[in-house]
Amino acid sequence: MLARLTPDVLRILAAYGAAVALFVIGALVHPGFASFPSVTSILLVASFVGLVAAGQCFVILIGGIDLSVPWVLNAAAILLATASLGQNARAFYAIALTLGMGALVGLVNGIFVVWFAVPAVVMTLAMNGVVEGLALGLSGGMTCAACASYAPPVVAAAVHGVFLGIPAALWLWLIVVLIVSFVLAFTRFGRATYAIGNNARAAFLAGVNVNLTTVFLYVLSGLFSALAGILLVGFGGQASLGMGDPYLFQSIAAVVIGGVSILGGRGNYLGAAAGAVSLTALVSVLLALNMPEYGRSIIYGVVILALLLLYGREQRE
């Protein structure tokens, strides 16, 4: 078993270790921090980061990146609220429409990255602007009548509802963790993803359909951002402007802290999920310490750098 403790496995263990350590530190400085309700509420917040990180993880594994996360998420939240008008009867239609929007954005990203050779950074950055403009313009800057709609009760229940003492959104995230990890580890699609991330040319020459796989990965990223947007409306009740902004930084940070190489080909979603938990726990600990915003921001960056220096270094030739 010791032979399996490769550097990649160690990175993931480190991410989990960091999460556990943060809960221990939190419990020391703030009794009750590690209590069951406190932990579940922290994990609930982490689940939103974790869902976005799933999509980000997929594209980073092939050496890409998705900068369109913030406004896909935000637009999804607005679309869900305005399409459902807070009614259960319209919830299914609204959810399908919203997920479809996320997938479509991802599809366009993927098509331009693959067939027009636009660098992923530029394409997804531009797409973020496109979606932002459309979301702002069509909603009249969130002044439309439907914009104030609340989440349909079923969506709210899908987040807050409790099953076996654990919030429903956490169950959902757990299922996503299991499915994504399974897909990456045991399916053709997962193998193709790693192959492309390691060496797209060699993967192509081994018969992998690089273009189609790449496009599909961007579609998945769009889908997960939209899903997170839907759940965030359920969590907070309403959509608001700028609600997606923190998730770009956090999703990339979670993926990188979780041991996924930003150059692609290495790491997996189990690590990224641990990264999401670590990040959220870190913020919670700092909040428990009454750390002001600026301090949180600084420590956040320092911790990421420290973890990177610990295990994120490139191999020298």
Taking the complex as a whole, the smallest distance from the CB of residue 317 to other proteins amounts, in Å, to 7
Q: Determine which residue in the list 123, 184, 226, 282 makes contact with other proteins, applying CB under 8 A.
A: 123
CA distance 267 to 162: 32
**HSE-CB of 90 using CA atoms within 13 angstroms:** 16
Taking the complex as a whole, the smallest distance from the CB of residue 225 to other proteins amounts, in Å, to 16
Q: Would you say 201 and 31 are in contact if contact means Cβ atoms under 8 Å apart?
A: no
Q: Considering the rule CB under 8 A, would residue 125 count as an interface residue with other proteins?
A: yes
For residue 140, give every residue at least 6 positions away whose Cβ sits within 8 Å of its Cβ, in sequence order, or none.
147
CA distance 84 to 89: 8
Taking the complex as a whole, the smallest distance from the CB of residue 231 to other proteins amounts, in Å, to 24
- Contact positions with other proteins (CB under 8 A) in 157-196: 186-189, 191-192, 194-195
Cβ distance to other proteins smaller for residue 287 or 302: 302
- Specify the stretch interacting with other proteins by CB under 8 A; choose among 28-36, 125-133, 225-233, 267-275: 125-133
Q: Would you say 221 and 247 are in contact if contact means Cβ atoms under 8 Å apart?
A: no
- Contact positions with other proteins (CB under 8 A) in 287-316: 293-302, 304-305, 308-309, 312-314, 316
CA distance 201 to 199: 6
- Where do we find the tokens 């982490």? 46
Token pair in block for residue 10: 């160690």
Q: Which residues of this protein are in contact with other proteins, per CB under 8 A?
A: 65, 112, 116-119, 121-123, 125-134, 136-137, 140-141, 186-189, 191-192, 194-195, 198-199, 201-209, 249, 252-253, 256, 262-263, 265-266, 293-302, 304-305, 308-309, 312-314, 316-317
